[in-house]
Amino acid sequence: MEIKKNILNVLFFLSFTFGYEKLDYKIKYLGLYVADCKIRNNEIVHDDELVNEIIFNVETRKFFDIIFPINNEYKIILDKNNHILQFSKNTNQPGVYNNLVTRKINNKIYYSDSNFELKKEYFNIFSFLHFIMNSDIIPSNLIIEREGVIYDAFIKYDIIDSAYELDLVFKDFNNPIIDKTDVFTWALFMKDAKRKFYINENKIITKCVFRKGLITVTADLK
């Protein structure tokens, strides 16, 4: 047991030389800089396994705190195959307060107070973002789960714009685990929305663009 622990510790420290550790983005709504998004990626030991713990924090800037204050945290733990081992979100915005967590039962992952299973082949939007920054080959389709609702995700590369496009189509009309989700999750999964991700040569997302009609939201790497 002690040898196993020492090996994990060595791998833990070596792992910091690979991938991203922290990313900071400016979120703009209709061109206005309204919020900051911080992503922190740490390698930790979880159930005797070396895994990634990724924390996304979104917080409105001071002026927009007066208009529509947001302070949201999303935390996900992934194994080396990008399988979700644990997910939680704690969101605080006007009229919507979400506190969502998963639990592990018999080596399966479920949302708390629910029998909905997060199967190994399911991504959520956060594991998807991590995946496309850590994969040499991005598949043309996969399954993305959003709080109990399942989508077919189709990914294609726009040669002209040098960006990946993500199209989400309802696959399973299960009732969502929560009645009202946070504004960012809601917007990401809006029907007929356009979603683009720009990735540089170091496999870092430099920009995300989401469009729905005349509304445009962007996230630009600082």
Q: Write out the two tokens for 212.
A: 């729905």
pLDDT tens digits, 61-90: 999 999 999 999 999 999 999 999 999 999
Contact 100, 147 (CB under 8 A): yes
pLDDT tens digits, 133-148: 999 889 999 999 999 9
Contact 208, 218 (CB under 8 A): yes
Helices (H), the chain: 2-15, 62-67, 125-132, 183-188
Q: Please name which of 153, 149, 147 lies closest in space to residue 197, comparing C-alpha atoms.
A: 153
Q: Please name which of 158, 125, 157 lies closest in space to residue 142, comparing C-alpha atoms.
A: 125
Label residue 53 exposed, middle or buried (CB < 10 Å: 0-12, 13-18, 19+). Answer: middle
- 13 vs 106, residue with greater confidence: 106
What pLDDT is stored for residue 152 in this prediction? 96
How far apart are alpha carbons 87 and 184 in whole angstroms?
Answer: 17
**String of DSSP letters for 23-70:** EEEEEEETTEEEEEEEEEEEEEEETTEEEEEEEEEEEE-HHHHHHS--
Q: Please name which of 182, 220, 215 lies closest in space to residue 200, comparing C-alpha atoms.
A: 220
